[in-house]
Structure 1
């Protein structure tokens, strides 16, 4: 914009000079006469020394100021003033602030390469609030992370332990875990499917005794994040089984040193509130990013829950592995949860972005990728919460795997950055490029 304004100013000056050459012939002939008159009327050196002079101004300057300008001189002065005005208008009053990048928090991370890629994405996409977390499942160690607040990259990941984030549809993991633990449901069990998936009206929960309407398999209801079918499952399973499954996933627990904060899940025994909790259609169910990573790692490894740790993040993650007093799901439930998460990538809400659109084809084909998406409005901080939690595991060597958790909070009235699934796909792609083909 500034260059365009300057170019326009130069063009105007050029046109003015051409006009003065064409139409200013008379003034050009008079200019030497005026110049001569001025030069002949100037005082000599002797008279200048004897004349009374103001201490702040020389005699020649005073004589020039009092002499009338010719038309040619007046035109040149006007052009100069116009050019100065245009330049002043396009020149910002304050220079843009230069961002100073502090790379200390990047160099202190386990996987510096991946940490640098995350930092680049945060500065490029500029999410309002966000946290990105990558965990190595075998050791359960945090290998890379990134965070923004108010659009600025942070040096400390204090969102890891914050427990005011609504879990949204990530709470559906509790529901299908409770359903499979009850031995009344399998991945292929048909569930009544009435109305839109993103809504939850009471009429969508009323199922006739001899229902013959449309149905959806349990794994697809989870993969497509269908609220009414999951709410129906939760109401049939009951609050007691839901709470038991939630405990195995780390909800309603006070962790050592308060790291992370307590994630809450308290469904009522009956009614519409039970349906809301079953599908995550409520702000009262909360989840910390650190616990979300622990849940995915537990599902992937088929082991009891453990909170991810890091050696150099004492306020935001445990310093070492800590065994928790939680139960373990059956092998069938772990298998079902893993397959349902893979279904979310192949046939569900994450299918569009976690694909060859955002990943190299060879990386995408070499991995088993699973996950769960979720979105809901929240108030601390205020905005639209968008989740992705998932994993990527090499098909040929299952020991090569990562857990990825992405949480972004968008301004409801403002700019939205790239979808959380797209960010997760890029992180997985970076990791796969370095890990699978390093030789």
Structure 2
């Protein structure tokens, strides 16, 4: 359980400058042409304070480096502290599920201690920890982040038997399962080959995936029609397998996987293993397995999974997740302030249509029963969408179940990833856990409603 830290620090406030209108009076003479009527002795005395001030400024510039006087410069330039310095200092402890308040910074210039302030909201994080512990699954992790700022607001990890001294929120060995349908849907919509209302034919059960139904489809009396929105909401594997093979294709699917952050370092301010895809471009069945999420070769961490929902909730823009808010020297000066980069992954129209699919999941699809009464109470106006996924994995061993989604009140929004792994019987579904977290996060807005 993460240690609680007060995220608040008094901060300076910018002072707005007021500008007077230029004088409309004509200037008839240059200042050098004007005659000072004061006696010479008084004019000399008037210059003495100005000369003293000039001397002080010269001494200041000679005694202090320019970087100390140039307060508008980047903190990294001034103090030599960059994101990677902090990452190197905290990553091992974060992976071990420890959140150190004081770390030793090994910069290019010197080594010194710093006090780290995190973006974690202690009350929210404690609520999640307590909720998971109350139900007691074998393994679980939850990550909550703010899409428009990238702030990681909660990072919870739970191991029932304490067999792992590892932060599961950063563990990238979980099978991505049907979460990868988000990537497939984004590729199809963004390239214009599909819309939420596009109709597809398929045979077989929603949860099954057979070569004959994907690669050798035949229309018969058992063939069913479904829309992309419904196929996403119900997680129909055959439909997404066929979309991956015949509509999107291996090259485009890999491109969008890379754009979503697979097969590359996750852009956070601490070290985390990369999420992986493992399909082969020349193997149609491998493509179908990946596109539908019916493979153990595609893996993901909860932090990265929350990023997927974050991009969609933020109109197609990824703001790099940040665990650290700022760091100060033990004597007080500010050493580092998080300023995450952002990049557009796809346009707003694509994110709008992906949210249509995700809303269908919680209102009509695989997460419906967990949100059945959610929209009848104080959260009736909350926009919620998500994607479920499940697959038996080996790291950790057990049935892995996911819910990845977002909540948007119009005033604030969050992205959430919840994963639960159970060896034999289940204790709580991740969609239900995510609902509890959304209710807790937005409860103040709901009561003020």
Shorter-chain TM-score above 0.5: yes
Matched residue, 1:288: 301
From the superposition, tell whether residues 286 and 152 of structure 1 become closer, same or farther in structure 2 (CA, over 3 Å).
same
In the TM superposition, what is the alpha-carbon distance from 1:427 to its structure 2 partner?
A: 1.1
From the superposition, tell whether residues 213 and 251 of structure 1 become closer, same or farther in structure 2 (CA, over 3 Å).
same
Matched residue, 2:314: 301
Aligned 8 A contact 2:400 2:420 in 1: yes
In the TM superposition, what is the alpha-carbon distance from 1:400 to its structure 2 partner?
A: 1.4
| 1:231-310 alignment, distance < 5 Å | 231-236=241-246, 237-255=248-266, 259-269=271-281, 270-310=283-323
Matched residue, 2:175: 166
Aligned 8 A contact 2:266 2:304 in 1: no
Aligned 8 A contact 1:344 1:370 in 2: yes
| 1:83-102 alignment, distance < 5 Å | none
RCO greater where, 1 or 2, for CA within 8 Å and sep 6 or more? 2
- 1:380-431, Cα deviation, whole Å (9 max, x unpaired): 111110111101111xxx23112111011111x3x42111111111111112
Matched, 1:385 2:400: yes
Describe the SS at the equivalent of 1:200. coil
In the TM superposition, what is the alpha-carbon distance from 1:214 to its structure 2 partner?
A: 1.7
Q: Distance in 1 between matches of 2:340 and 2:445?
A: 27
Q: Distance in 1 between matches of 2:411 and 2:5?
A: 25
| 1:413-428 alignment, distance < 5 Å | 413=424, 415-428=425-438
Q: Distance in 2 between matches of 1:368 and 1:186?
A: 20
CA-based RMSD of the aligned residues comes to 2.8
Aligned 8 A contact 1:251 1:265 in 2: yes
Describe the SS at the equivalent of 1:389. strand
Matched residue, 2:376: 361
Aligned 8 A contact 1:132 1:405 in 2: yes
Unaligned runs of 5+ in 2: 8-118, 328-335
Larger radius of gyration: 1
Aligned 8 A contact 1:106 1:116 in 2: no
Unaligned runs of 5+ in 1: 1-101
Q: Distance in 2 between matches of 1:153 and 1:120?
A: 19
Describe the SS at the equivalent of 2:380. helix
From the superposition, tell whether residues 210 and 422 of structure 1 become closer, same or farther in structure 2 (CA, over 3 Å).
closer
In the TM superposition, what is the alpha-carbon distance from 1:254 to its structure 2 partner?
A: 2.2
TM-score by length of 2: 0.67
1:201 to 199, 206, 210: 210
- 1:278-317, Cα deviation, whole Å (9 max, x unpaired): 1000010011111111111111112433332122799xxx
In the TM superposition, what is the alpha-carbon distance from 1:132 to its structure 2 partner?
A: 1.1
Q: Distance in 1 between matches of 2:162 and 2:380?
A: 35
From the superposition, tell whether residues 103 and 242 of structure 1 become closer, same or farther in structure 2 (CA, over 3 Å).
closer
| 1:148-187 alignment, distance < 5 Å | 148-152=158-162, 158-187=167-196
Describe the SS at the equivalent of 2:415. strand
| 1:115-126 alignment, distance < 5 Å | 115-126=125-136
Matched residue, 1:78: none
Aligned 8 A contact 1:360 1:429 in 2: no
TM-score by length of 1: 0.68
- 1:221-265, Cα deviation, whole Å (9 max, x unpaired): 111100000101001120011011112211111246773311112
From the superposition, tell whether residues 158 and 320 of structure 1 become closer, same or farther in structure 2 (CA, over 3 Å).
farther
Describe the SS at the equivalent of 2:127. helix
Aligned 8 A contact 1:354 1:424 in 2: no
- 1:43-70, Cα deviation, whole Å (9 max, x unpaired): xxxxxxxxxxxxxxxxxxxxxxxxxxxx
In the TM superposition, what is the alpha-carbon distance from 1:374 to its structure 2 partner?
A: 0.3
Name the structure with the higher strand share. 2
Name the structure with the higher helix share. 1
In the TM superposition, what is the alpha-carbon distance from 1:103 to its structure 2 partner?
A: 7.7
Matched residue, 2:114: none
| 1:23-38 alignment, distance < 5 Å | none
From the superposition, tell whether residues 157 and 438 of structure 1 become closer, same or farther in structure 2 (CA, over 3 Å).
farther
**Of 140-149 and 279-288, the range deviating more from structure 2:** 140-149
Matched residue, 2:421: 409
From the superposition, tell whether residues 351 and 153 of structure 1 become closer, same or farther in structure 2 (CA, over 3 Å).
farther
Aligned 8 A contact 1:299 1:337 in 2: yes
Describe the SS at the equivalent of 2:148. coil
